[in-house]
Amino acid sequence: MAVKSLDDAVEPEVPPVAQPYLSASPNPFNPVTKIRFGLTQADKVSLDIYDIRGARIASLVDGFMEAGHHVVPWAGLDGSGRRVASGVYFARLVAGKITFNQKLLLVK
């Protein structure tokens, strides 16, 4: 059957998130990695980048997000927009009562 108008079109359904998750690819990366995470329900979310000493160097997300799959790029920049050095970093996702950490390796 042909679609008669845009109103008749059905968007493909994105599968719901079965369990919350956090991942990054490519990893190791240079110059950008994509941090992917999934939420099973809408919630307040923070996604921050920490250095090996535990100091927060960038905040990528801080606010309410809907349930589903999300992708946030990180280009190896600190909160002031300066490039960070090669090394090990950690992405920390906090959504409601869950916390995930993902090790990131920036190589130049």
Taking only the tens place, the pLDDT of each residue in 39-90 is 999 999 999 999 999 999 999 999 999 999 999 999 999 999 999 999 999 9
pTM recorded for the entire structure: 0.84
Using the predicted structure, report yes or no on whether residue 100 has a pLDDT greater than 50. Answer: yes
Which range among 13-17, 33-37, 56-60, 99-103 shows the weakest confidence by mean pLDDT?
Answer: 13-17
Count of domains for the chain: 1
In a domain, 37, yes or no: yes
Residue 80 is encoded by which pair of tokens? Answer: 């002031």
Q: How many CB atoms lie within 10 A of CB 71?
A: 9
In a domain, 62, yes or no: yes
CATH code of the domain containing 30: 2.60.40.1930
Q: How many CB atoms lie within 10 A of CB 78?
A: 14
The string of DSSP letters for 36-83 reads: EEEESS-EEEEEEEEETTS-EEEEEEEEEE-SEEEEEEE-SB-TTSPB
CA–CA dist 83, 38 (Å, integer): 27
In a domain, 10, yes or no: no
